[in-house]
Amino acid sequence: MSGNESKITHKLRMMSGFELPIDTLSLLKPDGSLHDGAKAPKLSKETALRIYDTMLFIRVLDERMVAAQRQGRLSFYMTCIGEEAAVIGSAAAFEDHDMIMGQYREHGALRYRGFPTEQFMHQMLSNSKDLGKGRQMPIHYGSRALNYMTISSPLATQIPQAAGYAYGQKLDGKKACTLVYFGEGAASEGDFHAGMNMAAVLKCPTVFFCRNNGYAISTPSEEQYAGDGIAARGVGYGMQTIRVDGNDVLAVFAACVEARKIAVEKQEPVLVEAMSYRLGAHSTSDDPSGYRSKDEEEKWRSVDPVLRMKNWLIAKKWWAEQQEKAVLETYRKEVLDTLKATEKVPAPALEEIITDVYDQPPAHLQQQLAELREHIAKYPEKYPKTAQGVK
Ligand SMILES: Cc1ncc(C[n+]2csc(CCOP(=O)(O)OP(=O)(O)O)c2C)c(N)n1
């Protein structure tokens, strides 16, 4: 029934925004066993171990990069700690030719697709081997080869882009969809509503994946929206919607396999809201002790998504504690060695600041480049890395 043909009533009754509460799908208990009546999705040993391996890599990368930022080797970093099951479990449910558009906390999805360790480092250190030629701040990765759109800092801009990109996939008759990630904070932006409405009306194969991690920097979710979370908005836009336990990799994977199927086979959008918690700071520029308690964090630490998956893998005899130690050691060494080697790579050539947009850079940009060259040559100590390459 469409909104213009609703059932007629003769009694005045307002409806509250909380009258249609949406359940949360949870399959896996923290100890790694299944809830009564829960059915695990079909997940091969190979895929399960690839998900888990990606989780371990991301834990190591996060830990080492925060330390590198504290040592002054990096200017900025954002961790994914606490949200590994939501990000990596969802990415695993999609095909390599599906497009991914991230917000910024989804490096796990990029790694799952095979982004090499050295490419993470080249990007974070803005050097000449960075695929983005050093033009973005750290953690703004992108990879054309892996169908992962470059991260952009203004919140929610990726959401209407995802609706538009998926509309293009539909017009091209592709058996593919676009997976777009965003936080519950970004869902307050106008772009969220524009993207959701466009996808719903034009039936774009877009999977909207909201990481509801409880905070938008220091603002708790209770102060961000009224009503039943973000999932209720999917229903409001006339979209198939599901809410999942974001710390439960099986629930996330099962929901996303179904979401992709609907998007690709029925050619329509789906909203997935994953309920989780941002265990770390918002970024290396933030200190969460100023706005939340240690007790609250501890409560969420006890339902750690990585530990929960490990318990499940061990129960299935697909994993063992000794293997884990070896993998963590290997990744720690790999990340540190790669960081050291990457620090020696020179900065991008200065003229690359104006290439790639125009066939022939226009005169005013050439002029600005000449002025910049002069400026750097005059104050080389202020631009130690760039000045080496400026003649
Ligand atoms: C348009 C815009 N407004 C504000 C900001 C500053 N900002 C960066 S991240 C952030 C919070 C986003 O929270 P959420 O979407 O919940 O994602 P989370 O960081 O929790 O993963 C804000 C307000 C921004 N980048 N862009």
Domain region containing 382 = 350-389
Average pLDDT score, the chain? 96
Q: Tell me the per-residue pLDDT of 82-107, one tens digit each, with 9 for 90 and over.
A: 999 999 999 999 999 999 999 999 99
The mean per-residue pLDDT over the stretch 266-278 comes to: 98
pLDDT level of residue 3 (50, 70, 90 thresholds): low
Task: State residue 181 phi and psi, 5-degree precision.
Answer: -100, 145
User: Looking at residues 291-304, what average pLDDT do you find?
Assistant: 96
For residue 6, being part of any structural domain is answered with: no
278 has pLDDT over 80: yes
Domain match, 360 and 334 both? no
Residue to probe by mutation, ligand 1, list 217, 223, 278, most atoms within 8 Å of CB: 217
Burial track 252-281 (b if 16+ CB lie within 10 A, e otherwise): bbbbbbbbbebbbeebbbbbbbbbbbbbbb
Q: What does the pLDDT read at residue 4? A: 79
Model pLDDT, residue 2? 62
* pLDDT score for 146: 98
> Is 278 close to ligand 1, i.e. is its CB under 6 Å away?
yes
Question: What is the C-alpha R_g of the chain?
Answer: 23
Whether 174 shows a pLDDT value over 90: the answer reads yes
How many Å apart are CA 110 and CA 113, to the nearest integer? 5
Alpha helices in the chain (DSSP H): 45-70, 84-91, 107-112, 117-124, 158-171, 190-202, 231-236, 249-261, 294-301, 305-315, 321-342, 363-378, 384-387
Q: Is the CB–ligand 1 distance for residue 186 below 6 Å?
A: yes
Binding site membership of 217 for ligand 1 (Cβ less than 6 Å): yes
134: left (phi over 0), alpha (psi -120 to 50) or beta: left
Cα–Cα distance for residue pair 43/45, rounded to 1 Å: 7
**pLDDT per residue as tens digits for the range 323-350:** 999 999 999 999 999 999 999 999 999 9
> Do 383 and 266 belong together in one domain?
no
Same domain, 376 and 235: no
Residue 3 covered by a domain: no
pLDDT confidence tier of residue 1, bands split at 50, 70 and 90: low
User: Residues of 23-50 as b/e, b for ≥16 C-beta within 10 angstroms?
Assistant: ebbbbbbeebeeeeebeebebeeeebee
Does 185 share its domain with 86?
Answer: yes
The model's pTM is 0.96
Closest CA to 205 of 237, 229, 178, 230: 178
Same domain, yes or no: 278 and 362: no
Q: Is 140 a pocket residue for ligand 1 (Cβ < 6 Å)?
A: no
Q: What is the pLDDT of residue 137?
A: 95
CA of 224 to the centre of ligand 1 (A): 12
**pLDDT range class, residue 70, cuts 50, 70, 90:** very high
Same domain for 75 and 44, yes or no, is yes
Distance 22 CA to ligand 1 centre (A): 25
The alpha carbon of 190 and the centre of ligand 1 are apart by a number of angstroms equal to: 13
More confident residue, 2 or 324: 324
CA angle 138/141/143 to nearest 5° reads 160
For residue 2, being part of any structural domain is answered with: no
What is the percent of the chain with per-residue pLDDT over 70, rounded to a whole number? 99
Token duo for residue 97: 């030719």
> What separation in Å is there between the alpha carbon of 138 and the centre of ligand 1?
16
83 CA closest ligand 1 atom index: 21
When pLDDT is averaged across residues 153-157 and rounded to a whole number, the result is 97
Share of the chain above pLDDT 90, in %: 94
177 lies in the same domain as 299: yes
Query: In this structure, which residue's CA is closest to atom 21 in ligand 1?
Result: 183
- Cα(278) to centroid(ligand 1), Å: 13
Residue 14 counted as domain residue: no
Q: How far is the CA of 214 from the centre of ligand 1 (A)?
A: 12
Amino acid identity of 167?
Y
* 328, 343, 358 - which closes a domain: 343
Residue 157, pLDDT above cutoff 80: yes
Residue with tokens 């939340």: 292
Handedness of CA 280, 282, 283, 287 (dihedral sign): negative
Whichever domain contains 252, its CATH number is 3.40.50.970
Arithmetic mean of pLDDT, 134-159: 97
> Are both 355 and 333 inside the same structural domain?
no
In this model, does residue 228 exceed pLDDT 80?
yes
Give the Cα separation of 36 and 45 in Å (integer).
23
Residue 310 token pair:
């490990």
334 and 303 together in one domain: yes
Q: For residues 370 and 332, give the distance between their C-alpha atoms in angstroms, rounded to a whole number.
A: 43
Does 132 fall in a domain? yes
Domain count, the chain: 2
